[in-house]
Structure 1
């Protein structure tokens, strides 16, 4: 299958690109900028463009049988001082359906959107949270385009565990340095609450499953393990070889600030994905500990490479 992955240089997109290539597909990544030399997808064909600015054309998308949209942005991507309503319209509520419509016009037959679990699990959040409302609109707007010639589905995953070489790995340097016991200024506790987690590898497997077998017009709530934030922090410490036990406190933590917890500190977003959906999409369960160990190894390699490059 000839597949274009929008957001293919990011953590989720890169995992998907490599997995889809391993399955024998012809994969191209779409990106706003040329690939860095240390990108794990540096050897793949690249299509430069920006869906938020509508720079792609139908002619560019026409050669592809399928598009995987893995470029949805969240609060971490919003620069200070930007107009929030405009940002969400361009990146989510309007931008994603517009791009899906362009793919349909180009004759692309399959479109898989990687969304988010908040509106799927708690629809009421969309009534008061602009980010969740934008995700909901992006999901529903793209799926509304489905017909007999254009198969559209959405995968709505929880928090994703994964990293890729280069900048992505370096982003987690402080977290794993703390986990190993090298950041005494960062306290050893986790905030109250918790959620579901899914590895980037499992998500990549689900994307391939959706491309082959998803029901057109359907959104799938996918996920893996329900963890309290204390359990999640403890798994990070264990992955880094930190010999200590993390406690739970009802306090904000610098590694997981309250602004990152959509359900609010102390809130829990736990669920079990439908067994039939897991089987249909064919993704691995109980993969979180392995994913965190892999992340720690990538971070260690990135830090070592940075030191060697500076010497």
Structure 2
């Protein structure tokens, strides 16, 4: 039996589809029943009968921050995919990020140890990878730096430390560090907002760039690593390193809209994050752009995927094909 935490998110829902399609017995956590409807939508992108696969999942309502709700998740479980996380770059959300990403992961690790779980796969992020140096791609062993790190990155890094602590106590673990994950179904959050933005025919794009990966490749890599004998390792999952301009050009071409052509000047970003900070202090508005986010746009981060390809002979899929698929589902 396999447990998937965060099964109602982008990665979790696609992982559940892969596992159920291949006949695995799966338990998944959820927080609200409305979230399960999103999973049904995602399944519907790939099959005409999503309900059949959805019925194979044992759903358990649980919150990884509430230790008392978690034991029922682990009944009969041998393998765990820990996908649950809170994503936010607003400094005001730091306590909640610590509670979910770091302390929640510690709870999962402790229960894995208690229930003699055979292997844990933790979904981290490239945000927890040390920055790349000029002319060289970042690798898994890059030195970690808190300089300009977002609150999200800080808590994902600390969550990884909890996983490594579990490995020292005898738990078999593997960590994946995906780039920005592209996949259909969550158009109002995360990478889904790129498709919304491009569809509106916006004229401006943010500077900089980062690593992008398809949700299919994230799922395939996770499953392959769990089925392998590899342990106590982490792997960067990135199909391609793109600038945001290049990404919007790819999306716009598939949505049949004009791509943004004006790079937002750095001085505008510097002004905006200060105004945004003031709006937060005076009006209590959520932060849209922080100082650390702005500094991050000054540099295009590059990531290497060589370690994964060499470890399990992994072949990444076609990023353009996934973007086209996402655009078709977005338009539908």
When normalised by structure 2's length, the TM-score is: 0.75
Does residue 1:288 correspond to 2:319, yes or no?
yes
Which residue in 2 is equivalent to 1:155?
176
* Pairwise CA distance, 1:90: 1.0
Which residue in 2 is equivalent to 1:4?
3
Does residue 1:240 correspond to 2:259, yes or no?
no
1:271 to 267, 284, 303: 303
1:224 to 239, 246, 251: 239
* Pairwise CA distance, 1:143: 2.1
* Pairwise CA distance, 1:262: 7.2
* Pairwise CA distance, 1:47: 1.5
Conservation of the 8 A alpha-carbon contact between 1:67 and 1:111? yes
- Secondary structure at the counterpart of residue 73 of structure 1: coil
- Secondary structure at the counterpart of residue 142 of structure 1: helix
Conservation of the 8 A alpha-carbon contact between 2:204 and 2:263? yes
- Secondary structure at the counterpart of residue 67 of structure 1: strand
Which residue in 2 is equivalent to 1:305?
none
Which residue in 2 is equivalent to 1:47?
60
Mapped to 2, the partners of 1:9 and 1:75 lie a distance apart of 17
Question: Gaps spanning 5+ residues in structure 2: where?
Answer: 44-53, 132-143, 273-287
* Pairwise CA distance, 1:163: 2.0
Structure 1 segment 120-131 matched on structure 2, within 5 A: 120-122=129-131, 123-125=144-146, 129-131=150-152
Mapped to 2, the partners of 1:284 and 1:191 lie a distance apart of 30
Which residue in 2 is equivalent to 1:306?
none
Mapped to 1, the partners of 2:192 and 2:76 lie a distance apart of 40
Q: What is the RMSD of the two structures over their aligned residues, measured on CA atoms? A: 3.0
Conservation of the 8 A alpha-carbon contact between 1:194 and 1:227? yes
* Pairwise CA distance, 1:119: 2.5
Conservation of the 8 A alpha-carbon contact between 2:42 and 2:184? no
Mapped to 2, the partners of 1:244 and 1:51 lie a distance apart of 40
When normalised by structure 1's length, the TM-score is: 0.80
Structure 2 CA distance for partners of 1:89 and 1:298, relative to 1, 3 Å: same
Does residue 1:94 correspond to 2:109, yes or no?
no
Mapped to 2, the partners of 1:283 and 1:225 lie a distance apart of 14
Which residue in 2 is equivalent to 1:179?
198
Which residue in 1 is equivalent to 2:166?
145
Which residue in 2 is equivalent to 1:36?
37
Higher helix share: 2
- Secondary structure at the counterpart of residue 205 of structure 2: strand
Mapped to 2, the partners of 1:90 and 1:194 lie a distance apart of 29
Structure 2 CA distance for partners of 1:284 and 1:30, relative to 1, 3 Å: farther
Structure 2 CA distance for partners of 1:75 and 1:243, relative to 1, 3 Å: closer
Conservation of the 8 A alpha-carbon contact between 1:258 and 1:264? no
Mapped to 2, the partners of 1:9 and 1:295 lie a distance apart of 18
Structure 1 segment 183-202 matched on structure 2, within 5 A: 183=200, 186=202, 188-202=203-217
Mapped to 1, the partners of 2:231 and 2:314 lie a distance apart of 19
* Pairwise CA distance, 1:281: 4.7
* Pairwise CA distance, 1:212: 1.2
Structure 1 segment 95-134 matched on structure 2, within 5 A: 95-122=104-131, 123-125=144-146, 129-134=150-155
Which residue in 1 is equivalent to 2:218?
203
* Pairwise CA distance, 1:247: 4.3
Question: Gaps spanning 5+ residues in structure 1: where?
Answer: 302-311
Extract structure 1 runs of 4+ deviating beyond 6 A. Answer: none
- Secondary structure at the counterpart of residue 167 of structure 2: coil
